[in-house]
């Protein structure tokens, strides 16, 4: 083991931990944003491992004592009032952290949205020009209901709202997590899921448009779709982030790139889950309701989407 080389490589982490501890000891954990609280915990684990290695390899009493002091100070700061700190971290994340990571990864989210939109556009083009295409993408019973009976299928939800809502939420979570996990295929499976769902939505939208049912269809989609579709785009962006780490790690080692971009993807997941739960509740109880007029459904969808845009684009305080 080259001791000097190892110390040179690990010393920046020790200095960073020292700096964070000095701030916490002077001003408390409240003075740190959620990201730096997580960094503090990560550095504590890293320096604890360094301490164990220094002891095992007998790297000198001075170094061992310095690392021992760092780990002791870290432990006392992290674990005193840890439950309160976790709640504060969660509040800070949903207040500032999630909008920040959305802004940082916007290019990947936009690319995911474009892949979905391209799939929808392809479906629209082929559905109008080739009648056979529709039967390849849309279930036959749905085609019969819309084309031959002139009806939509949302009425089946009425009367079983709780079951429908939970099933919808679970399905949306499965699709989103599949899009995220697809990143490990270098983004190929993520791209497939986005394109396939775009094709499916585009074909259905074309089907209802061809049969003069577009207005009630979009009245159903707008309230929950204002959150559900952005959540899927965010999930797609997370999967593409992981794919980028595998294909184009850049200046990082591939393992380090996976840690960096994987951390951003994980933060996107924390924001996606509440969005899908809310969207599933709306889709189960509000969107299919025959009591709510269609203009109100459109208005709710527009308001929710506008609020989401404002929230995700809000100015994040400086972390300096």
Other CB atoms within 10 A of residue 105 CB: 22
In this prediction, residue 222 carries a pLDDT of 92
Burial of 266 (0-12, 13-18, 19+ CB in 10 A): middle
H-type helices in 93-187, by residue range? 98-104, 106-129, 131-137, 140-143, 161-181
In this prediction, residue 86 carries a pLDDT of 57
Q: What does the alpha-carbon distance between residue 306 and residue 304 come to, in Å, rounded to a whole number?
A: 5
- Contact indicator for 180, 264 with CB cutoff of 8 Å: no
Q: What does the alpha-carbon distance between residue 142 and residue 149 come to, in Å, rounded to a whole number?
A: 10
Contacts for 72 with CB less than 8 Å, ≥ 6 apart: none
Q: Which DSSP category does 292 fall into?
A: S
Each residue's pLDDT, cut to its tens digit, for the chain (320 residues) gives: 577 888 888 888 888 888 888 888 777 777 778 788 888 888 888 888 888 887 777 777 778 888 888 888 887 777 664 555 556 667 778 888 889 899 989 999 999 999 999 999 999 998 888 878 888 888 888 888 888 888 877 766 555 556 556 677 788 888 888 999 999 999 999 999 999 999 999 999 999 998 999 999 999 999 999 999 999 999 999 999 999 999 988 888 888 888 888 888 999 999 999 999 999 899 888 888 889 999 999 999 999 999 999 999 987 654 43
The radius of gyration computed from the CA coordinates of the chain, to the nearest angstrom, equals 25
Contacts for 5 with CB less than 8 Å, ≥ 6 apart: none
The CA-atom distances, in angstroms, between 197 and each of 18, 171, 280 are: 48, 13, 17
- Which tokens sit at 198? 């775009």
> The whole model's pTM is what?
0.70
Report CA 72 to chain centroid distance, whole Å. 35
């Amino acid at each position: 083991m080259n001791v000097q080389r190892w110390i040179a490589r690990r010393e920046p982490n020790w200095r960073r931990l020292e700096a964070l501890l000095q701030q916490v000891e002077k001003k408390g954990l409240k003075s740190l944003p959620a990201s730096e609280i997580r960094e503090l915990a990560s550095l504590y684990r890293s320096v604890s491992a360094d301490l164990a290695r220094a002891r095992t390899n007998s790297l000198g009493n001075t170094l061992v004592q310095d690392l021992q002091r760092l780990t002791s100070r870290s432990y006392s700061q992290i674990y005193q009032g840890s439950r309160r700190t976790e709640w504060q971290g969660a509040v800070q994340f949903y207040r500032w952290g999630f909008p920040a990571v959305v802004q940082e990864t916007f290019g990947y989210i936009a690319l995911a949205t474009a892949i979905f939109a391209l799939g929808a556009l392809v479906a629209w083009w082929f559905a109008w020009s080739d009648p056979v295409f529709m039967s390849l993408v849309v279930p036959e019973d749905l085609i019969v209901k819309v084309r031959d009976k002139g009806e939509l299928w949302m009425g089946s939800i009425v009367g079983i709202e709780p079951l429908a809502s939970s099933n919808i939420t679970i399905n949306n979570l499965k699709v989103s997590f599949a899009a995220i996990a697809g990143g490990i295929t270098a983004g190929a499976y993520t791209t497939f899921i986005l394109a396939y769902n775009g094709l499916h939505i585009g074909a259905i939208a074309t089907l209802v448009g061809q049969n003069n049912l577009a207005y009630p269809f979009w009245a159903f989609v707008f309230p929950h779709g204002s959150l559900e579709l952005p959540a899927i785009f965010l999930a797609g962006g997370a999967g593409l982030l992981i794919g980028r780490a595998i294909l184009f790690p850049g200046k990082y080692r591939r393992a380090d790139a996976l840690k960096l971009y994987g951390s951003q993807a994980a933060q996107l997941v924390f924001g996606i889950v509440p969005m899908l739960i809310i969207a599933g509740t709306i889709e189960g109880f509000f969107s299919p309701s025959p009591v709510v007029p269609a203009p109100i459904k459109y208005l709710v969808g527009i308001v929710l989407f506008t609020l989401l845009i404002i929230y995700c684009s809000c100015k994040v305080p400086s972390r300096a």
